[in-house]
Amino acid sequence: MKSFLIDRYAKGGALRLGESPMPELRENDVLVEIHAAGVNPLDNKIRDGEFKLILPYRFPLVLGNDLAGIVVRVGANVRKFKPGDEVYARPAQDRIGTFAEYIAIDEADLAMKPSNLTMEEAASIPLVTLTAWQVLVERANLQKGQKVLIHAGSGGVGAITIQLAKHLGAYVATTASTANIDLVKSLGADVVVDYKKNDFETVLQDYDVVLNSLGKDTLEKSLRVLKPGGKLISISGPPDPQFARQNGFGWPLQQVMRLLSFGIRRKSKRRGISYSFLFMTANGGQLGKIASLIEAGHIRPVMDRVFPFEKTNEALDYVETGRAKGKVVITVKQVP
């Protein structure tokens, strides 16, 4: 099958279009013909080697972390899916590879595609909505009436998280550039701080939750908008000891992560705030709930550009600029 892969880690390196063997189907697996794949900053970071300590991949490695497609075959133990089903998923982190014509994925990580979305729209959804769900519902336990600040509201994660937070009944603030203010307001943001004109930490106060997807400076400034007992949740690092323990990392790696996050954990503790790092995990059950929200009109995909499969490298380059409004998607299989 055709696939885009890497033979080694290389910062800014191009993916190679090549032939890969068809995926092996385990008893609990579903073989999916991929019609569209979402492109994420995570793909660039994996290519660059930023996660090689915690995600020890083997080469050649097919990249890609989002998919929508059609079930072709199922393993002996699979009961939820059958050939012909339209599905979407974020594969488990040790079984990525959606920049390809086919993928084998555990049925526990798979869900039926929202019926009101195209394949491209559905492929834009899994990684970012699972991130939003796991931050707001699982980690933050966000309640109606609470105040949440979502950084980079026009980005892939931000655009979905704003919508989910509003659905949960929260008061939502976000940061965006002047050009994207109308977009984030249309998604439900109550307050928009134009980061080109104002410092968010001087405008906002007494927030219950902050979702950080940006760098160290933004992370530390976010402490100033949280009230005591608030939660600072970062998806861009630094990883903390709890993350290391949950993933079964050995003592040396736990110590590395303890050191990496020591500064922000100490500053958070002084203010009575909890800091945690979240690395989103695959979850078909959650995607099923998200599909219901999408079909009910509570969440809509926000897409910037769709690239053909052969221009996957251009799609990655575009995502790396950081200028995409919402998600970037590649069409793997053209449907007549």
Does the pLDDT of residue 55 top 90, yes or no?
Answer: no
Q: Where are the domains of the chain?
A: 2-125+301-331, 128-277
**pLDDT of 163-211, one tens digit each?**
999 999 999 999 999 999 999 999 999 999 999 999 999 999 999 999 9
**pLDDT, position 281:** 96
**pLDDT, position 247:** 87
Which fold is adopted by the domain 128-277? Rossmann fold (3.40.50)
The band of 53, judged by pLDDT with boundaries at 50, 70 and 90, is: confident
**pLDDT, position 67:** 98
CATH tag, 2-125+301-331: 3.90.180.10
Give the rounded distance of the alpha carbon of 250 from its chain centre: 26
- DSSP strand pairing (207-212 vs 147-150): parallel
The band of 100, judged by pLDDT with boundaries at 50, 70 and 90, is: very high
What is the percent of the chain where pLDDT is above 70?
Answer: 100
**pLDDT of 222-255, one tens digit each?**
999 999 999 999 999 899 999 999 888 989 999 9
**pLDDT, position 23:** 97
